[in-house]
Amino acid sequence: MASLPGLLRLLLAERVMVASAISKLGDRREILGVPVCIASLEDSVVQVEKLIQSGGSHLVATADASGIVIAQDDSVLMRIYQDASWVTADSNGVIWALRRQGVSTERVSGVDLADRLLALSAAKGYSVYLLGAAPGIAEAAKERMIIKYPGCNIIGAQHGHFPESENEFVAKQLAEIKPDILLVAMGIPRQEKFIDEARKHMQFGIAMGVGGTLDVMSGKVKRAPVIIQKLKIEWLWRTLLNPKKFSKAKTLPVFVRLVKQAERKN
Ligand code: UDP
């Protein structure tokens, strides 16, 4: 029979195993109906690689406050977030909302996760396709990423400024190319809806909506200086540099109000 200290050690080991199993399966918390994964950037890379290896087709969503606000009135986007294989906490607003639930986690932005997946491609050979942004940007992003991560296996790149009536045509092209990792940079909610439709044709790999990532990777748009990122006001920096982002920034106070309202109801 096991001694008391032995039993305690067993119980402790079991707790550790259960805790790691939960994080592997994606421990999630709902923010206004969107199930956000509680995971670091490192954990997210591990999980996404598991999805790639698991077969089937998977949607990885990067949920920021603006997307969660849009999903309140857009049932298709809400369903996509709820069905996604992995949902990262992609804004400081989401991190703030999680903290109010007593959960502390790091921000996993689309640009950071995409960057890590390109590094993974260089290390393990996974094929990557870049879709989105204005003409010329995806190709420029490809050139720069091949220099940054020699050996990364980017098998194609094309812009995302095509009419929605061409979604099916583009999806069928991708179905023939079969990338392991499809990065779609067409903004929320178009990118998520494109992936959702395209998955009917593609029974492989992961597809992730990555917003303005290709603009950043191509060098067209600079990320905010680290100090601005640390101060958690990257959104303010982007809005000042690009007033078109104002409509996105306007959703932040709406998000804060909705989160507080939901807390009062619970
Ligand atoms: N875009 C696109 N096709 C469209 C609309 C937008 O490829 O039909 C691109 C646009 O050129 C830009 C990106 O989508 O590169 C949107 O970036 P943004 O940072 O606005 O995305 P967010 O994550 O804020 O929604």
User: What per-residue confidence (pLDDT) applies to 191?
Assistant: 98
Instruction: For 62-78, write each residue's pLDDT tens digit.
Output: 999 999 999 999 999 99
pTM of the full predicted structure?
A: 0.88
Please state the atom number of ligand 1 nearest to the C-alpha of residue 132.
7
Residues in the chain, total? 266
Q: Which residues line ligand 1 (CB under 6 A)?
A: 132-134, 160-161, 185-188, 190, 211-212, 214-215, 248
Ligand 1, atom 16, lies closest to the CA of 187
Output the CA 200–ligand 1 centroid distance in Å: 23
Nearest CA to ligand 1 atom 19: 212
Rounded to the nearest angstrom, the distance between the alpha carbon of 159 and the centre of ligand 1 is 10
Determine if the peptide bond prior to 243 is cis (ω within 30°): no
DSSP string, 197-235: HHTTT--SSEEEE-TTHHHHHHTSSPPPPHHHHHTT-HH
d(CA 138, CA 124): 22
Q: Which of 68, 186, 241 to mutate to test the pocket of ligand 1 (most atoms within 8 A of CB)?
A: 186
**Is residue 106 within 8 Å of 201, Cβ to Cβ?**
no
DSSP for residue 19: H
Q: What is the pLDDT of residues 231-247, one digit of tens each?
A: 888 888 888 888 778 88
Q: In ligand 1, which atom is closest to the CA atom of 186?
A: 14
Helix (H) or strand (E) holding 78: helix 75-83
Residue from 215, 218, 220 whose mutation best tests the ligand 1 pocket (most atoms within 8 A of CB): 215
Report the separation in Å between the CA atom of 155 and the middle of ligand 1, taken as the mean of its atom positions. 21
Q: Which atom of ligand 1 is nearest to the CA of 188?
A: 25
Distance 189 CA to ligand 1 centre (A): 9
Ligand 1 center to 100 CA (angstroms): 30
Q: What is the pLDDT along the chain (266 residues), one digit of tens a residue?
A: 445 444 444 444 443 333 333 333 479 999 999 999 999 999 999 999 999 999 889 999 999 999 999 999 999 999 999 999 999 999 999 999 999 999 999 999 999 999 999 999 999 999 999 999 999 999 999 999 999 999 999 999 999 999 999 999 999 999 999 999 999 999 999 999 999 999 989 888 999 999 999 999 999 988 888 898 888 888 888 888 887 788 888 999 999 999 999 999 88
pLDDT value at position 26? 74
